[in-house]
Amino acid sequence: MNACARLRARAFAATYDRLNAAAERTVMGQRRAELLTAAHSVVVEIGTGTGANLPHYDAAQVQHLLLTEPDPYMRQRLERKIGDAVPRLREAAEVVDGSAEHIDLPDASADVVVSTLVLCSVGDAAVSAAEAVRVLKPGGQLLVLEHVGSESASVRRWQDRLTPIQRRVAGGCHLNRDTVMELRRAGLETGGVKRWELGGAFGRLMPIVEGAVRKPAV
Report domain extents, the chain: 3-214
- Least confident segment among 3-7, 10-14, 110-114: 3-7
Which one is predicted more confidently, 140 or 17? 140
pLDDT at res. 210: 97
Residues in Cβ contact with 67 at an 8 Å cutoff, skipping those fewer than 6 apart: 45, 48, 51, 78, 82, 93, 94, 95, 96
Helix (H, G, I), strand (E, B) or coil at 34: helix
Confidence check: pLDDT of 1 > 70: no
- Report pLDDT for 170: 86
Section 192-197 average pLDDT: 93
pLDDT recorded at residue 23: 85
For residue range 14-62, what is the model confidence (pLDDT) as tens digits? 888 888 888 888 899 999 999 999 999 999 999 999 999 999 999 999 9
Q: Tell me what pLDDT residue 212 has.
A: 97
In the CATH scheme, what is the homologous superfamily, with its name and number, of domain 3-214? Answer: Vaccinia Virus protein VP39 (3.40.50.150)
Query: What mean pLDDT is predicted for residues 187-215?
Result: 93
Beta bridge partners of 111: none
* pLDDT level of residue 111 (50, 70, 90 thresholds): very high
Number of H helices, E strands in the chain: 8, 7
- CA distance linking residue 123 with residue 164, whole number of Å: 14
> What gap in Å lies between CA 36 and CA 23, rounded to an integer?
17
Q: Helix (H, G, I), strand (E, B), or coil: what is residue 94?
A: strand
What is d(CA 176, CA 57) in angstroms, rounded to the nearest whole number?
29
Is residue 195 within a helix (H) or strand (E), and if so which, with residue range? strand 194-196
171: left (phi over 0), alpha (psi -120 to 50) or beta: left
Report the distance separating Cα 131 and Cα 15, nearest Å.
29
Q: How many CB atoms lie within 10 A of CB 106?
A: 9
Round to whole Å and give the CA distance between 150 and 156.
5
What is the greatest pairwise CA distance in the chain? 49
State yes or no: pLDDT of 156 exceeds 80. yes
| Percent of the chain scoring above 90 in pLDDT | 80
Q: pLDDT tens-digit profile of 66-104? A: 999 999 999 999 999 998 888 999 999 999 999 999 999
